[in-house]
């Protein structure tokens, strides 16, 4: 029966040391049975078939090994949109919504803005902007073929015709210069030596190429800071997600390039320096 299954799963998830055992149990049951979470409590006496129990067991076993819920359910909510994800795709994080918010703020007075999202993953940033600003044209790049397919599918599921994605290294496949009003990126920025210390759900699952930013985590951030001015219009904006420890070095690189105005650092909801915003001179 449903009520019994729910309490048994909660207990197993508690023993496995998961942070939200009740929520995870509810989500897995409602996903497999195709019912809203509220129905679990409304109909605790509902009988569960052997086939349903087998499917629940399969997902529960994965969750007990701390596989992220987003991979188990195949989706993650970001900017109030459900993005399809799988184990080859970086799971979008709530902090990254700050990049979308600042992008929209910078673009809302431009009639037909042109945007580049570097390292697009699921399309969390670029697809959210394309959906929000219907007159925009969003281009995205990712080195991973699987990520480009995923973001294109996410864009298609909202019938967005203003989003396209290119499989390339950073900006290297983009031949035209001075064409973007805004370049935005959440690139890999974790120092290689710190990856093993991340939360096990992040370190053990998902594509490592989405995390590894090289020796001090600055490889891609530096690449973007040095190359973005060639691709931006004059007064075009660059927005970069960073780790708070990278703020000072980013500011130094931006200032020494001589190609940008004074950088502004934005903090996330946890009060950590999270986004660098700067305008091309
Ligand atoms: C931290 S994830 C961000 C994904 C997505 N933008 C988000 O915020 O959820 C970084 C992304 O950069 C991509 N990437 C890694 N190296 C790259 C490169 N050299 N050129 C383009 N994209 C790259 C990864 O495949 C991954 O999708």
Residues of the chain with pLDDT below 50 are none
The two structure tokens encoding residue 110 = 């431009």
Q: Give 166-224 as a 3 state SS string.
A: EECCCCCCCCCCCCEEEEEECCCCECHHHHHHCCHHHHCCCCHHHCECCCCCCHHHHHH
Q: pLDDT tens across 161-199, in order? A: 999 999 999 999 898 999 999 999 999 999 999 999 999
CA distance 209 to 229: 25
The pLDDT assigned to 173 comes to 86
Our answer on whether the CB atom of 217 is closer than 6 Å to any ligand 1 atom is: no
The model scores a pTM over 0.85: yes
CA distance 213 to 191: 5
CA of 252 to the centre of ligand 1 (A): 24
The reply to whether 187 belongs to the active site is yes
User: Which protein residue has the closest C-alpha to ligand 1 atom 12?
Assistant: 119
Kindly list the structural domains of the chain, giving each domain's residue range(s) and its CATH number in brackets, ordered by start: 2-65 (1.10.8.10), 78-279 (3.40.50.150)
The pLDDT assigned to 108 comes to 87
Our answer on whether the CB atom of 213 is closer than 6 Å to any ligand 1 atom is: no
């Amino acid at each position: 029966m449903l009520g019994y299954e729910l309490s048994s799963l909660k207990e197993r998830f508690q023993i496995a040391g998961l942070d939200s055992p009740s929520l995870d149990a509810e989500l897995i049951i409602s996903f497999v049975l195709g019912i809203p979470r509220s129905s679990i409590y409304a109909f605790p006496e509902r009988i569960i078939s052997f086939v349903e129990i087998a499917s629940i067991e399969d997902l529960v076993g994965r969750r007990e090994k701390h596989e992220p819920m987003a991979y188990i359910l195949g989706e993650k909510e970001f900017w109030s949109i459900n993005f399809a994800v799988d184990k080859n795709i970086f799971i979008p994080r709530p902090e990254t919504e700050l990049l979308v918010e600042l992008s929209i703020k910078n673009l809302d007075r431009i009639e037909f803005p042109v945007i580049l999202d570097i390292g697009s993953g699921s399309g969390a940033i670029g697809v959210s902007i394309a959906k929000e600003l219907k007159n925009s044209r969003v281009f995205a790049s990712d080195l991973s073929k699987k990520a480009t397919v995923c973001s294109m599918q996410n864009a298609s599921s909202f019938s967005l015709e203003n989003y396209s994605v290119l499989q390339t290294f950073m900006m290297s496949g983009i031949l035209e210069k001075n064409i973007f009003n805004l370049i935005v990126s959440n690139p890999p920025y974790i120092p290689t030596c710190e990856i093993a210390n991340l939360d096990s759900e992040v370190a053990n699952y998902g594509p490592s190429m989405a995390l590894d930013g090289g020796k001090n985590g600055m490889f891609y951030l530096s690449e973007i800071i040095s190359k973005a001015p060639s691709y931006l219009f004059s007064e075009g904006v660059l927005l970069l997600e960073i780790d708070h420890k990278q703020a000072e070095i980013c500011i130094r690189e931006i200032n020494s390039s001589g190609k940008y105005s004074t950088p502004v650092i934005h903090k996330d909801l946890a009060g950590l320096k999270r986004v660098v915003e700067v305008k091309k001179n």
